[in-house]
């Protein structure tokens, strides 16, 4: 089997006397979806923040593309192709789709040798192209409007499109279907399948077991900071996953 894009080897993280993670190990391959399941306080958020450079592991090792890494901050992780989409999406509601895709990395142009200005046309054009590659249908008229005017599913698509435009190889999705209606949940699941076909590796966090079983290749269950089990969806059931989560 090909080398995994990500390996965590006995990763531990403590906050004072609290063990948020304790010797957690797993691996993830390109084009694969690993779902993280666990109750509140299980360590899911700590794990993804440790992978993405928010926290530093106290023990253990993280390998990315076979190379040991220790990202100083999330920007360093993004520069290596690790993008995280949190539940709040981190979109600027007053900006349009293109401006959100390029947020903090805006291209500039000069007109008649004057001071540089934002190249909004280039941003909108690039945003449209990346959304097309993901088969995301956002009407052209809405590309020029503030993203506050988009539906929840369309906003989620913009956040994913931004990650893909900046060449994400590993995409971490924290509760991507929370607060969405059933039709939009289905669209996000379809989008995840397209990302898999584009060979993007995905870590998917959700409390929704239906979503987990719909998209995951493997399910990693955390309980109180430890790895309680790892299962393939076709080899387990929702009841077993719940028992692993609560320790029954």
Residue 113 has a pLDDT of 62
Distance CA 37, CA 230 (A): 10
State yes or no: pLDDT of 85 exceeds 70.
yes
Mean pLDDT of 90-108: 86
Place of tokens 């435009």: 165
- Whose CA is closest to 199, among 159, 170, 232? 170
Residue 115 has a pLDDT of 73
81 vs 121, residue with greater confidence: 81
Q: Quickly count: other Cβ atoms within 10 Å of residue 121's Cβ.
A: 11
State yes or no: pLDDT of 87 exceeds 70.
yes
What are the structural domain ranges in the chain? 1-81+169-248, 91-159
Topology annotation, domain 1-81+169-248? Rossmann fold (3.40.50)
Q: What pLDDT digit, counting tens, does each position of 175-214 carry? A: 888 877 888 888 888 889 989 999 999 999 998 999 999 9
Distance CA 74, CA 45 (A): 14
81 vs 110, residue with greater confidence: 81
Q: What pLDDT digit, counting tens, does each position of 144-166 carry? A: 889 999 888 888 888 888 888 88
Distance CA 196, CA 24 (A): 24
Task: Using a cut of 0.75, tell me whether the model's pTM lies above it.
Answer: yes
User: Are residues 63 and 69 in contact, defined by beta-carbon separation less than 8 angstroms?
Assistant: yes
Q: Can you count the helices (H) and strands (E) in the chain?
A: 9, 12
**pLDDT band at residue 111 using 50, 70 and 90 as cut-offs:** low
- Give me the chain's average pLDDT, please: 90
As a whole number of Å, the CA-based R_g of the chain is 19
Q: What pLDDT digit, counting tens, does each position of 211-234 carry? A: 999 999 999 999 999 999 999 999
- Whose CA is closest to 202, among 177, 231, 171? 171
| Contact residues for 117 (Cβ-Cβ < 8 A; gap 6+) | 108, 109, 110, 111
Residues counted in the chain: 248
Q: What pLDDT digit, counting tens, does each position of 23-61 carry? A: 999 999 999 999 999 999 999 999 999 999 999 999 999
Residue 221 has a pLDDT of 97
């Amino acid at each position: 089997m090909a080398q995994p894009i990500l390996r965590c080897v006995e990763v531990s993280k403590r906050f004072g006397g609290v063990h948020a993670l304790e010797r957690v190990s797993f691996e993830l391959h390109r084009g694969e979806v690993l779902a993280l399941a666990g109750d509140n306080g299980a360590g899911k958020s700590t794990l993804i923040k440790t992978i993405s450079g928010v926290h530093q592991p106290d023990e253990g090792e993280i390998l990315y593309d076979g190379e040991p890494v220790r990202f100083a901050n999330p920007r360093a992780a993004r520069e290596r192709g690790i993008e995280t989409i949190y539940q709040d999406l981190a979109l600027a509601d007053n900006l349009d789709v293109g401006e959100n895709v390029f947020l903090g990395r805006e291209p500039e142009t000069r007109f008649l040798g004057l001071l540089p200005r934002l190249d909004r046309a280039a941003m909108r054009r690039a945003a449209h192209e990346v959304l097309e590659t993901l088969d995301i249908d956002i009407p052209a008229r809405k590309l020029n409007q503030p993203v506050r005017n988009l539906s929840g599913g369309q906003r989620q698509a913009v956040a994913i499109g931004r990650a893909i435009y900046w060449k994400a190889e590993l995409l971490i999705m924290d509760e991507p279907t929370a607060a969405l209606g059933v039709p939009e949940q289905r669209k996000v699941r379809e989008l995840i399948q397209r990302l898999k076909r584009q060979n993007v590796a995905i870590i998917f966090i959700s409390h929704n077991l239906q979503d987990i079983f719909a998209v995951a290749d493997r399910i990693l269950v955390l309980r109180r900071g430890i790895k309680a089990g790892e299962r393939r969806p076709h080899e387990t059931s929702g009841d077993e996953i719940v028992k692993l989560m609560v320790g029954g």
